[in-house]
């Protein structure tokens, strides 16, 4: 009976330890995301502290749609309430971007660009549509362009999404970097680089 009771306590302790490890792991993953709100600077994003929280945003009087950070960011005049309750205007050009539902949107060249994956290394498509006047496209430098980029949280750097730049972005994870570099061809690296970025973010603490 004593042997059985000792074995029972040992199993309970082991189960409790495992549960504690799982809980800690889950807690780490739970906090491994960007907080919703408006960010005026890269430094605020890096520290994961929104400059302006959603509850501070002031909805346009003329906007009858469902309120969201995205709707606010795309209105003509941007206002928010300060901690003292005063109404304050912010220029769109001063925004780094915003985060909604944990997804960052970076503001570049008068447009918001959505991150398709985010973390220590993020991926986003920077695209600009054709500008049109009536039925004919306007010939300007703002013609349609599209490029997939990497955003490096550690330094705020934006690089083109290429195998070479992915390798540089993940090189501090030696095992992952070695596995990526062991892929025999540039084509294989190109095909799998998105997944390697995701795996890097899963393992990175940021």
Residue 121 lies in a domain: no
**Per the domain annotation, does 143 fall within a domain?**
no
Closest CA to 77 of 88, 66, 65: 88
User: Would you state the structure tokens that stand for residue 199, as one six-digit string?
Assistant: 């795996």
Separation between Cα atoms, residue 91 and residue 52, nearest integer Å: 13
**Does residue 56 sit within a domain?**
yes
Does residue 135 lie in a domain region? Answer: no
Question: Is the pLDDT confidence value at 26 over 60?
Answer: no
Supply the pLDDT for residue 31: 33
Q: Establish if 91 belongs to a structural domain.
A: yes
Enumerate the β-bridge partners of residue 121.
152
**Helix axes 186-203 and 163-170, enclosed angle (nearest 10):** 30
**How many structural domains does the chain have?**
1
Phi-psi category of residue 39: left, alpha or beta, with phi > 0 → left and psi -120 to 50 → alpha:
beta
More confidently predicted of 6 and 35: 35
- Of residues 32, 122, 106, the one with CA closest to residue 114: 106
pLDDT tens per residue, range 49-105: 999 999 999 987 655 567 899 999 998 899 999 988 899 999 999 999 999 999 999
In which domain, by residue range, is 69 found?
34-108
């Amino acid at each position: 009976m004593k042997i059985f009771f000792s074995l029972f306590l040992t199993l309970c302790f082991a189960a409790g330890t495992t549960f504690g490890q799982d809980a800690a792991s889950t807690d780490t993953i739970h906090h491994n995301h960007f907080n919703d709100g408006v960010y005026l600077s890269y430094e605020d994003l890096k520290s994961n502290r929104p400059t302006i929280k959603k509850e501070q945003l002031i909805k346009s009087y003329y906007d009858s749609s469902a309120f969201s950070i995205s709707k606010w960011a795309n209105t003509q005049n941007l206002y928010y309430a300060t901690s003292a309750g005063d109404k304050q205007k912010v220029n769109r050009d001063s925004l780094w971007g915003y985060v909604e539902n944990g997804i960052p949107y970076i503001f570049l060249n008068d447009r918001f660009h959505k991150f398709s994956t985010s973390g220590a290394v993020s991926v986003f498509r920077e695209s600009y549509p054709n500008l049109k006047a009536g039925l004919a496209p306007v010939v300007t430098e703002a013609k349609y362009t599209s490029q997939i980029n990497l955003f490096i949280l550690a330094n705020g750097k934006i690089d083109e999404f290429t195998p070479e730049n992915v390798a540089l972005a993940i090189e501090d994870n030696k095992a992952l970097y070695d596995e990526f570099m062991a892929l025999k061809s540039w084509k294989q690296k190109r095909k799998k680089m998105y997944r390697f970025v995701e795996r890097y973010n899963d393992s990175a603490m940021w």
